[in-house]
Amino acid sequence: MDLGEINPVLLVASLMVAATPLLLAAIGELVVEKAGVLNLGVEGMMIVGAISGFAISVETGSPWLGFIAAAIGGAVLSLLFVLLTQFALANQVASGLALTLFGLGFSALMGQSYVGIKPPSMGDIHIPLLSDIPVAGPILFQHDPILYVGIAIIAAVWATLKYTRVGLILRAVGENHDAAHALGYKVIKIRIMAILFGGACAGLGGAYISLIRVPQWTEGMTAGVGWIALALVVFASWKPWRVLLGAYLFGGITVLQLNLQAAGVAIPVEYLAMSPYIITILVLVILSADKSSAPASLGRTFHASL
């Protein structure tokens, strides 16, 4: 056992990569839930995004087109959720679960001929000077572009929700859709936009796994990240920066526990494997002691005539 073998700089750099799929999926779901909709289909939208992005980037040779396709793929699947919950007024929990089951099966079908293929590589951004700074360089300036896109989305969601009129309206719809409706806001329309945004983010997160983190396609490769994203939104008290913190914490401990194993630390592997879940939940539960609560209309069906 030699903890000195763990390089903290590389550890931080790789935890950011490990956290990005979770971060993307969770920030999308945060916006959806802020609008008062509970979409449990994150896992399904992620995996569909993963295969859409993989297939398109293999066919076109461009990872960028792949990511765009992934966002579209995730959003298209979330349209199904829109139809079920916003027009047919179906139960959101059941519809979301159905979306996940459907997405897992459908992606396996789409991915039949893509197993074992190498996708084109995106490459890391290398900024002269900045990337060469010791310590900060590898951590901050030597990643793939999508990782920065993820952080940018967090910042944008935070700013939009906090400072803009759009954000205010979105929150109003999520807190009390009847009041928002009475004020003349188009509740259904706003929710549809939020759901599509959530789908696109989940799709991006999925493609990040299949195109950058692994990079390869296999059935069910999102392996539950969508569910963790859902939990993360709740434990982060619907606050964007806490989502980032939670995702990095989770990603960090995931990477750290492998590092500890490789360094020969004498903790049973099973404990190491469960540690990311426990520690992330613990930290976020402690943080959420400030009594911030869920959007009041979360999960409730809205019908204008009622």
Residue ranges binding other proteins (CB under 8 A):
5-7, 10-11, 14, 18, 115-116, 118, 121, 209, 213-216, 218-219, 221, 223, 254-255, 258-259, 261-264, 266, 268-270, 273
Closest to other proteins by CB, 30 vs 58, is 58
CB of 262 to other proteins, least distance (A): 5
Number of CB atoms found within 10 A of residue 50's CB: 34
C-beta of 7: minimal distance to other proteins in Å? 6
Q: Report the residue count for the chain.
A: 306
Q: Give the residue with the Cβ less far from other proteins, 36 or 111.
A: 111
Q: How far is the CB of 255 from other proteins (least distance, A)?
A: 7
Specify the long-range contacts of residues 158-165, CB closer than 8 Å, at least 24 apart. 158/240, 158/241, 161/31, 161/34, 161/240
Distance of closest approach, residue 298 Cβ to other proteins, in angstroms? 31
CA distances (Å), origin 118, targets 51, 65, 143, 212, 305: 13, 16, 20, 11, 53
Rounded Cα distance, 242 and 248, in Å: 10
Smallest gap from Cβ 182 to other proteins, in A, equals: 48
Q: How far is the CB of 116 from other proteins (least distance, A)?
A: 4
Residue 86 C-beta: closest distance to other proteins, Å: 33
Smallest separation, CB 283 to other proteins (Å)? 22
Q: Give CA–CA dist 162/30, Å, rounded.
A: 14
Q: Identify which of residues 273 and 278 has a Cβ nearer to other proteins in the complex.
A: 273
User: Alpha-carbon distance 31 to 54, whole Å?
Assistant: 26
Is the CB of 260 or the CB of 298 nearer to other proteins?
260
Beta carbon nearer to other proteins, 8 or 94: 8
Angstrom distance (rounded) from CA 143 to CA 18 = 12
Between 142 and 176, CB nearer to other proteins = 142
